[in-house]
Structure 1
Amino acid sequence: MAVVPVYNHPRAIGGVVAALRAAGLPCILVDDGSDADCAAVLDRLAGDGVEVLSHDRNRGKGAAVASGFRRAAQRGYTHVLQLDADGQHDTAALPTLLAAAHANPGAVIAGYPVYDDSVPAIRLYGRYLTHIWVWIHTLSLRIRDSMCGFRIYPLRPTLALLAHAHVGRRMDFDTEILVRLDWAGVPVVNLPVRVRYPQDGVSHYRMGRDNLLLTLMHLRLFLGMLPRAPQLLRRLFRGRP
């Protein structure tokens, strides 16, 4: 099952859904309060293995993904492939990610981006700051990239985490849930995914709001790491030959 959070990506979402359906994956498109034009596109895509789940207002990417996770579990699925709706991720990686999930059913299969020349430099450098913080939060290099929106989750530990832990509901979701799953002992398998930034791409990143959310997230995770540090260090040293 694939879950795609959608907020005003009417031009890209059709291609994303076509690629997922070509791979044999049923889809839940979570309309996170999109405007009428995008909502109409989603309505046309519904059916033939595609379900549209709508939020009455924009609640954030993380809230949309969580809604999709819960619906997939209600329908009896054990794993969910999360893919962003903007069309930036190369869906040619789908077979590789799906094979890794079959081989590692208890793990998160996390894509990490391989960029072409279209990537804005500020995005690239900003990601490295988050990488450093994630390595501090986990006291390890187990997570190669925590921000990529192309990954496969095992639903049981993921839903258990969402039920009992604070996880950001907007742009802070992807990083926070991956760190907290790592803390819970869920393995992370990192796989490369090609990413491009089209000239006409739509970004919903809000510099002031989202930078504040990410700062607060890193503060939460750092404070959460401190009491877990002995356990994380034992885990690190047990992994050495």
Structure 2
Amino acid sequence: MSYCFIIPCYNHSTTLQATLTGLQPYHLPIVVIDDGSAAEHGVRIRQVCDGFNNVELLTKTVNAGKGAAVISAIQLASQRGYSHALQVDADGQHNLDDIPRLIERSRAHPEALVSGQPLYDSSVPKARLYGRYATHVWVWIETLSLTIPDSMCGFRVYPLAAFVALSNKVRIGRRMDFDTEVMVRLYWQGTPVLFIPTRVIYPEGGTSNFRVWRDNLMISWMHTRLFFGMLVRLPMLLGRKLRPAAALQKRP
């Protein structure tokens, strides 16, 4: 098992330095994807990345979205021969001290997607916090399961073989719909999804790339697709729920 970090970055040139510095104790390769940042941010992002020996920078000329950035990085990581990629956002929200716990859980379950389950403090915008619950409910419907308590946290470890197999079969959402859609589709594919609690903060003065109208419409369309995808997979999902019960009944 071999790991690398992937960091999608769009105009977060002021927080990237601290994020990269916080990852240095783990001595792992890092892939940063500049997703078409504005010129002044792009220059700073390159300067920051050039200051670290273990950082490789991918630069996109046009902003294609967080999902597209992560997919590009994972394709590169797979080509480099890594088995797993740990996604970290560039905006300083994630608690990097929890990385050993993510990796430990991943090593114990190498076939699984291991994700952070956010624990928020008072810095979280209330609209964002309450809005997440609508997605949580939809995901429970789309998977016919309560095993995914949070599908929106971008602090996670991907098993690359499962991810690449999925991305070669279907087109996954390219923007803010990505994190949820890829988790649901990996679950459908049979990939175990595991969680560790992790503290998430919204730094003072931080900037968000979430566009309320555009991204909410995109997320609504994603849930529509996933709902009908669930209906197509209904026999499989119901069978998955019934198999453990049948196994228990067979035990002496």
1:42 paired residue number = 45
Q: Alpha-carbon deviations, 1:43-88, whole Å to 9, x = none?
A: 2223411000011110000000000001111111110001111111
Question: Aligned residue for 1:77?
Answer: 82
Paired residue secondary structure (1:12): helix
Report deviation, 1:234. Answer: 1.6
Q: Is the 8 A contact 1:33 1:58 kept in 2?
A: yes
Residue deviations 1:7-43 (CA, integer Å, cap 9, x gap): 0001111111112222122100000001222222222
Q: Secondary structure at the match of 1:153?
A: strand
Superposition TM-score, scaled by structure 1 size: 0.97
Any residues of structure 2 matched to 1:8-23 within 5 Å, and which?
8-23=11-26
Question: Bigger shift: 131-140 or 206-215?
Answer: 206-215
Alignment match of 2:237 (pick from 232, 238, 241)? 232
Counterpart AA for 1:135: W
Give the residue type in structure 2 aligned to 1:34.
Answer: S
C-alpha distance in 2, partners of 1:18/1:99? Answer: 21
- The 8 Å contact of residues 83 and 151 in structure 1, kept in 2 or not, is answered as yes
Q: What TM-score do the two structures reach when normalised by structure 2?
A: 0.93
In the alignment, structure 1 residue 173 sits paired with structure 2 residue 178: yes
Counterpart CA distance in 2 for 1:117 and 1:206 is 22
Is 1:24 matched with 2:31?
no
User: Quick one: which of 105, 111, 114 aligns to 1:106?
Assistant: 111
The reply to whether residue 91 of structure 1 matches residue 96 of structure 2 is: yes
Aligned partner of 1:148 in structure 2 is 153
Instruction: Give the counterpart of 1:55 among 26, 46, 60.
Output: 60
CA-based RMSD of the aligned residues comes to 1.1
1:132 to 129, 132, 137: 137
Q: How many residues align?
A: 241
Deviation of 1:120 after TM superposition, in Å, equals: 1.2
Equivalent position of 1:183 in the other structure: 188
Matched AA of 1:209: R
Shift, 1:166, TM fit: 2.1
Bigger CA radius of gyration: 2
Map Cα deviations across residues 125-169 of structure 1 (whole Å, 9 max, x no partner).
Answer: 100110000000000011111000100000011011111112100
Shift of 1:100: 0.7
Counterpart of 1:234 in 2: which secondary structure? helix
SS in 2 for 1:197: coil
Q: 1:118 — aligned with what?
A: 123
Runs (4+) of structure 1 exceeding 4 A deviation are none
Equivalent pairs: percent with the same residue?
50
Q: Secondary structure of the equivalent of 1:11?
A: helix
Question: Which residue of structure 1 aligns with residue 168 of structure 2?
Answer: 163
- Structure 2: give runs of 5+ residues left out of the alignment: none
Say whether the 8 Å CA contact 1:7–1:32 is kept in structure 2: yes
Correspondence for 1:33 among 31, 36, 53: 36
- Which of 197, 201, 205 is the matching residue for 2:202? 197
Matched residue SS, 2:13: coil
C-alpha deviation, 1:238, in angstroms: 2.4
Alpha-carbon separation, structure 1, partners of 2:14 and 2:244: 45
**Where does structure 1 lack aligned partners over 5 or more consecutive residues?**
none
2:54 partner letter: G
